[in-house]
Amino acid sequence: MEFPRHLMFGKRFRNLVIGRENYIESWYDYKNAVLRGNLVIVAILVGLTYLVVDWVNGIDGNQAYYIAAILIGLLSLYLNRLGKHKLSGILFVLLINLLVFLFASNDQYRSGVYIYFVVTAISAITIFGHRDKYWAFAFVCLSVALFFVSYWGGFSLKPVHTYSEAYINLNFAINFMIAMLSAIAQLYFMITINDKTEKEILAKNELLAKTNAELDRFVYSASHDLRAPLRSLLGLIEVTRHTTNPEELEQCYLLMKDRVHNMDAFIKEIIDFSRNARQAIKKEPVVLLRVIQETINDLKFAEGMEQIYVRLDIPPGHQLITDKSRLSVVLHNLIGNAFKYSDPEKQNQEVAVRVVAEGDFTRIEISDNGLGIAEEHHQKIFEMFYRASEQSSGSGLGLYIVRETLARLNGTIKLESTPGAGSTFTLWLPTGSDQKSL
């Protein structure tokens, strides 16, 4: 499962917050791990800020509390990385409540420390959310109770110090700004994550609508294309029952064989479609010349293809890090179409395959001088079950599978074709290990 990285300001920050190898089971867990890590780091930065402010103003006596807060924050961050999310959250929220109470109970000058109880309550709700609402409610109640005790309790947990008016005013401004920025940061994190969640939901709804529409078309067209050769076979069987003519029987057997081959090819395309959608990508080094030659050898010696000249312009050692089986499906479809739709009226029938390295990508061109495809079909040719003409002998799944397979491999494809002149399919694939995996 992949999650957005930008919510944590880059890969290094993500590793700091939730760990390089830590597995997050769901979007909810991921979101809370991010928020918890962000808030802990904000708290650590606040502790460092107060250390610097007191050092600049020559104030002694609070450094131990700040250092303890920083260390407990680091411990909470470490627990978050280990996947102990609830324990990390409890430790962190309890820590900031006790620290705020410690300083608020000593705040005889009313320097604004009490406003941090609002931040602690917001933090509890942010960290625990709806799933752990009882923990959130308990810590909100704790913050409220500690506020009343510290404000009207009349006692202090640490020695009372006398500060200058300038330091008190500075402290009030710092407390107010940090509290406000902390609350804004939490709201920003929540808004960012909610915005991402909304976009994810919209994208998944669009994908679901697309999948449902394709499934409807698939069921209808697949059932039609599977039943058609079966009905034809039944008709041919009926013919053989009423004839004893050897030539008619031989013709019927050839037609039956042809129908069976068509059905077998269609079932293979359905299997390719299913494998591409379901199976994880298996990356391995693939020498392009070798896999293209294997594809051509599979296709070249089919009936009627012997007269087609194949021209290869491929660097012998060029290789990709990709899924070999998926690449073979793509090449079989494209090179197979180049053979299938050759122009029998032309004396010199040709298929050419060219490979060119282009930076981080590899360009593969598969061209022919066959029948060609009219321009009005170029935008639709990759749709499911689309046939450019009634004379097409294919199922209409091949190029759709090519497009979907290339999408899984982070590749793209482009068609250039002129009726009567031939077609060129150009595809680009990452040379390295850029492909998506489930």
Give the list of residues 6+ apart from residue 297 with CB closer than 8 angstroms, or none: none
Per-residue pLDDT band for 60 (boundaries 50, 70, 90) equals confident
Pairing of strands 361-368, 422-430: antiparallel
- 281-438 fold: Heat Shock Protein 90 (3.30.565)
* C-alpha span between 129 and 313 (Å, rounded): 60
Q: Which pLDDT belongs to residue 7? A: 42
**What average pLDDT does the segment 417-423 reach?**
89
Identify the pLDDT of residue 352.
92
Domain borders along the chain are 6-203, 281-438
CA torsion angle for 293, 297, 382, 368 (degrees, to 10)? 80
Least confident of 156-160, 175-179, 197-201, 282-286: 156-160
pLDDT above 60: residue 235 = yes
pLDDT tens readout for residues 83-113:
777 788 888 888 888 878 877 777 665 667 7
Q: What's the rounded mean pLDDT across residues 350-369?
A: 92
Residue 272 pLDDT greater than 70, yes or no: no
CA–CA dist 140, 158 (Å, integer): 24
Predicted local confidence at residue 275, as pLDDT? 64
pLDDT at 26 over 90: no
CB 80 within 8 A of CB 27: no
Please check the confidence at residue 11 and state whether its pLDDT lies above 80: no
Provide DSSP, 225-236.
Answer: HHHHHHHHHHHH
Please, how many CA atoms are within 13 Å of residue 106, restricted to the half-sphere of its CB?
A: 15
Would you call 129 helix, strand, or coil by DSSP? Answer: coil
pLDDT band at 307 (very low <50, low <70, confident <90, very high): confident
pLDDT of 409 strictly over 80: yes
- Statement: residue 128 has pLDDT above 70: yes
Average pLDDT over residues 397-412: 86
Instruction: Find which of 13-17, 193-197, 203-207, 368-372 is predicted with most confidence, using mean pLDDT.
Output: 368-372
Confidence label for 366 from pLDDT (cuts 50, 70 and 90) = very high
Which of residues 163 and 350 earns the better pLDDT score? 350
Would you say residue 244 has pLDDT above 50? yes
C-alpha span between 426 and 270 (Å, rounded) = 24
Residue identified by tokens 């604004």 is 112
Query: Tell me, what's the pLDDT at 325?
Result: 82
8 pLDDT exceeds 50?
A: no
Place of tokens 């920025």: 181
**pLDDT tens column, 68-79:** 778 877 887 788
What's the whole-number mean pLDDT along residues 399-410?
86
**pLDDT, greater one: 396 or 354:** 354
pLDDT at 2: 40
252-259 own/partner pairs: CB under 8 Å, 24+ apart: 259/229, 259/232, 259/233
281 contacts 436 by C-beta, under 8 angstroms:
yes
Average pLDDT over the chain reads 77
Poorest-confidence range of 54-63, 239-248, 317-326, 404-413? Answer: 54-63
Give the Cα separation of 109 and 113 in Å (integer): 10
